[in-house]
Amino acid sequence: MRFNHPAAATAFRAVARIFGEVVRIEPLVASEYAVAVADNDRPAVAVRATVALSPTVDGLEGARRGGEFQGMTRLAQREARIWITPNDYAAIGYDLRVSDRVILVDRAGAPSYRISRRPEISDRGDVMVHLVAEADQ
């Protein structure tokens, strides 16, 4: 079934209603040399999204160079993503950009994240946004 099929739209609404939560998107203008500031051309919005915070473990392996010791490091991290239905994403009125802030307002302490990659359209047609924790959370 294609994502623009009426049944898919019904499924998107059902998933968002059951698993979704309100997130606040604060557009920022990022600079390599300064702290990011609010983007006055793109207003902050609240949108319903499905949030996934899942623990992951990645390994980093070093390459042997001369007499140096080859090492390996394991990083435990919390991968974060949100999914926004196509209609809700279109209602935002602008495209999300890398370094925009996403605040999970329904969660205790309202943790904040930054968008780490350009949003992508998933195989189900919804918009998948990759996040990275903004502070020690």
Task: Give residues with Cβ within 8 angstroms of 123, minimum separation 6.
Answer: none
- Comparing CA positions, the residue from 61, 28, 17, 24 lying closest to residue 46 is 24
Count of helices and strands (H, E) across the chain: 2, 9
Per-residue pLDDT of the chain in tens (137 residues, 90 and over written 9): 455 567 766 766 666 667 789 999 999 998 778 788 888 899 999 999 988 887 666 666 666 565 565 666 665 566 789 999 888 899 999 999 998 999 999 888 899 999 999 999 877 778 999 998 876 55
- Give the pLDDT confidence score for residue 75 in this predicted structure: 58
For each of the domains in the chain, give its residue range(s) and CATH number, in order of start: 6-62+70-133 (2.40.10)
Task: Give residues with Cβ within 8 angstroms of 17, minimum separation 6.
Answer: none
CA triple 59-52-126, angle to 5 deg: 110
Say if residues 59 and 73 touch (Cβ distance below 8 Å).
yes
Task: Give residues with Cβ within 8 angstroms of 34, minimum separation 6.
Answer: none
